[in-house]
Structure 1
């Protein structure tokens, strides 16, 4: 199915160029819904009904479904008539709970719940940073539901890798104190507090130590100037994934968040190309 890429992308980029705070009230086309789950926090999400394959956006660590990439994807999916869902992990954004009480395993369960209960048919998972790690875990657990994967600054195994890279003395201090002040430029404190329990639990979900058995198309976009998650992590993912249809796209001036208008334009183009490919094959 052929599309006028340029027209779609021009419309999309014009919308993305509007400052987030000024556009928030205008661009929210969907309303927040809450999924009540037995013995689990209510999950906040926004859903757009449409054609298959659908698109599901997985935010990064300590992020939420209201970011520029998540909102831009909703506009894009609406323009194509494809279904789209974005959501907040347990303890994040508008979902119930406190973030400190959750971990990689809990957020993986959130993604699987979305796939099992909130969407229908095959899905393209778009994972940003930690969301890229979670999309791999979800694809391993629900291969029959995954049409394709798109990773943006994929942070596979990131917290575990960063912790193991610390000097022995520092690791001992962290273990004695019970938590690690993980440095970041993305909040006022300059760090995220990660418990030792969080780090140990995360080790159970590492994916880069062995082949990743999946056959769907995979696209990995990473910025060479990403100072949070090195671009070579996406190269490692590409090496491990067994799919024959995998591309790594490196942006020379790309930063971690990949939220500049040209970054978003590339993300949209990549997903549009995948939808075209999948629907043509179907």
Structure 2
């Protein structure tokens, strides 16, 4: 069944791109250079400005949500812009408060802070129905946004989805280790997901994150959901995607496990799969409309 779905996606994508490969989907501009979207800044009363890039186009649009400590300029985000341009669909990507080119202090950010960023961008800069694509922590924010804005969210694509991950991972530590972290006021987590190799999470961050946990009850999301996860993900266990699939109320949920897949999902074949998955959802939503 999965193979059939992927063949269907490839056929749809091939038609959309005129038979060209996914890599380099957007046609080159004169001189061999592609025109990339430029950085803009969204102003908010009494809150840091958010850096974003946007291209206008058809519905459904695509919104990309980066992971913890990441930004809107990674390989997945760039590839999705090329893809959306090639099909003429709108695309929005942005940096959370304190991340990338946005204003604010990263260490002061919380799940609640970044959830508000997502909702603001959806309300003010995303026109019409959207497919939300969330990477790692972005997958958690994606679900929170879908719950808060069901009328705007038409489908979800989670990549290495990290729902509740910070909280559940901390709770699995031995009691002595947790007590030591509480005494110090923070938890130092080795990770390959950010340049420093260590992610320092304050106890305040973890306590606030607990207010946004979703896996303890049914998740009221009814739109199509696609969850892509690598079996070799050393940062976020793949079984979290399985838990998400069990909790969401949607009758249309697919899980794709990549045997060699790692956390970042930035290999050429990983990105192709992500693009094929979104292309299939666009086709599905367009047909339904």
Structure 2 match to 1:13 = 23
Paired residue for 2:209?
A: 202
**In 1, are the aligned partners of 2:188 and 2:199 still within 8 Å (CA)?**
yes
Offset of residue 10 of structure 1: 4.4
Please tell me whether the aligned partners of residues 27 and 71 of structure 1 are also in contact (alpha carbons under 8 angstroms): no
Instruction: Confirm or deny: 8 A CA contact 1:55 1:82 kept in the other structure.
Output: yes
Task: Tell me the residue number matched to 2:159.
Answer: 152
Secondary structure of residue in 1 paired with 2:199: strand
Shift in Å at residue 39 of structure 1? 1.1
Once the 2 structures are TM-superposed, how far is the Cα of residue 119 of structure 1 from its aligned partner? 1.0
1:218-237 aligned at under 5 Å gives the runs 218-237=225-244
Q: Is the 8 A contact 1:143 1:214 kept in 2?
A: yes
Query: For 1:99-120, what per-residue CA distance to the aligned partner results, in whole angstroms no more than 9, with x for missing partners?
Result: 0011000000000001110111
SS at match of 1:207: coil
Q: Runs (4+) of structure 1 moved beyond 6 Å?
A: none
Q: 1:188 to 1:79 in 2, by over 3 A?
A: closer
Secondary structure of the 1:162 match is helix
The unaligned stretches of length 5 or more in structure 1 are: 17-24
Partner of 1:40: 47
Alpha carbons of 1:241 and 1:157: their partners in 2 closer, same or farther (altered >3 Å)?
Answer: same
Q: Give the C-alpha shift of residue 185 in structure 1.
A: 2.0
- CA distances 1:115-156 after superposition (whole Å, capped 9, x unpaired): 110111110000000000000000011111101000000000
**For residues 187 and 222 of structure 1, what CA distance do their matches in structure 2 show?**
18
Q: Any residues of structure 2 matched to 1:92-171 within 5 Å, and which?
A: 92-171=99-178
**CA distance in structure 1 between the partners assigned to 2:143 and 2:101 by the alignment:** 24
Give the TM-score normalised by structure 1. 0.93
CA contact (8 A) 1:54 1:82 kept: yes
Pairs aligned (count): 273
| Preserved CA contact (<8 Å) 1:28 1:71 | no
SS in 2 for 1:144: coil
Equivalent position SS for 1:41: strand
The alpha-carbon deviation at position 220 of structure 1 amounts to: 0.3
Q: Residues 255-266 of structure 1: matches in 2 within 5 Å?
A: 255-266=262-273
CA RMSD of aligned residues (A): 1.7
Q: Secondary structure at the match of 1:182?
A: strand
Please name the residue that 2:97 is paired with.
90
CA contact (8 A) 2:161 2:227 kept: yes
Aligned CA distance change for structure 1 residues 204 and 26 (closer, same or farther; 3 Å)? farther
> What TM-score does the superposition give when structure 2 sets the normalisation length?
0.91
**SS at 1:254 equivalent:** coil
- Are the counterparts in 1 of residues 167 and 206 from structure 2 also a CA contact under 8 Å? yes
Give the whole-Å Cα distance in 1 for the aligned partners of 2:277 and 2:159: 11
- Alignment pair present for 1:192 and 2:192: no
